[in-house]
């Protein structure tokens, strides 16, 4: 039986540590001193004028060596400054620190920005596209293995 709560707690303690290491890069790209705030498995980067970015990171329910990224979002005025790439780097470092060897996420096929971001960071499509019957969106399952990579 996978200790989901324990694994998610490990992610929750590794995230602020990894954020501290990347803080100078976030400050430079965001032009301020963002604070990291957590609500359940969602993490918010807040500037004095409001939420600037967010992401969700949690353990895959059926495999303790895999984690799932979702809800990566950067405020419009901060896009294309490298913040999304840094958030992906942060999530990857957290996963490594938690000894996870697979990252997973689903992306809309038409989301060029997110697909570019992931492919640039070494992610690849797993299998064919599929349709979410509730939304009609065409999605891709994207993944990246971390096995053998050093912990930052």
Nearest to 35 by CA among 43, 150, 113, 151: 43
Choose between 3 and 71: whose C-beta lies nearer to ligand COA: 71
Cβ–Cβ < 8 Å for 103, 122: no
Residues whose CB falls within 8 Å of the CB of residue 55, separated by 6 or more in sequence, listed in order? 42, 43, 69, 70, 71, 72, 73, 87, 90, 91
Residue 57 touches ligand COA, criterion: CB under 6 A: no
**How many residues in the chain?**
152
Residue 123 Cβ vs ligand COA, minimum distance, rounded to whole Å: 11
Burial 71-105 (b: 16+ CB within 10 A, else e): ebbbbeebeeebbbbbbbbbbbbbbbbbebbbbbb
Query: Quick one: tokens of 119?
Result: 């492919």
Q: How far is the CB of 35 from ligand COA (least distance, A)?
A: 18
- Given 35, 37, 112, 129, the residue binding ligand COA (CB under 6 A): 112
Q: For the CB of residue 5, give the shortest distance to ligand COA in the complex, in Å.
A: 25
Q: Chain centroid to CA 111: how far?
A: 16
Smaller CB separation from ligand COA, 44 or 73: 73
User: What does the alpha-carbon distance between residue 47 and residue 114 come to, in Å, rounded to a whole number?
Assistant: 23
Q: Which of residues 61-100 bind ligand COA (CB under 6 A)?
A: 72-74, 79-85
111 binds ligand COA (CB under 6 A): yes
Task: Assess 30 for contact with ligand COA (CB under 6 A).
Answer: no
CB closer to ligand COA out of 38 and 79: 79
- Nearer to ligand COA (CB atom), residue 94 or residue 107: 107
Residues that bind ligand COA (CB under 6 A): 72-74, 79-85, 107, 111-114, 116-117, 120
């Amino acid at each position: 039986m996978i200790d989901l709560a324990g694994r998610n707690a490990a992610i929750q303690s590794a995230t602020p540590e990894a954020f501290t290491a990347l803080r100078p890069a976030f400050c430079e790209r965001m032009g301020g001193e963002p604070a990291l705030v957590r609500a359940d498995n969602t993490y918010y980067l807040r500037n004095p004028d409001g939420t600037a970015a967010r992401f969700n990171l949690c353990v895959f329910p059926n495999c303790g060596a895999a984690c799932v990224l979702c809800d990566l979002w950067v405020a419009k005025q901060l896009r294309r400054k490298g913040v999304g790439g840094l958030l992906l780097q942060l999530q990857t470092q957290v996963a490594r620190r938690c000894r996870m060897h697979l990252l997973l996420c689903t992306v809309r096929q038409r989301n060029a920005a997110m697909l570019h971001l992931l492919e640039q960071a070494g992610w690849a499509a797993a299998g064919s596209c599929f349709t979410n019957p509730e939304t009609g969106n065409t999605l891709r399952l994207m993944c990246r293995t971390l096995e053998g990579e050093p912990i930052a």
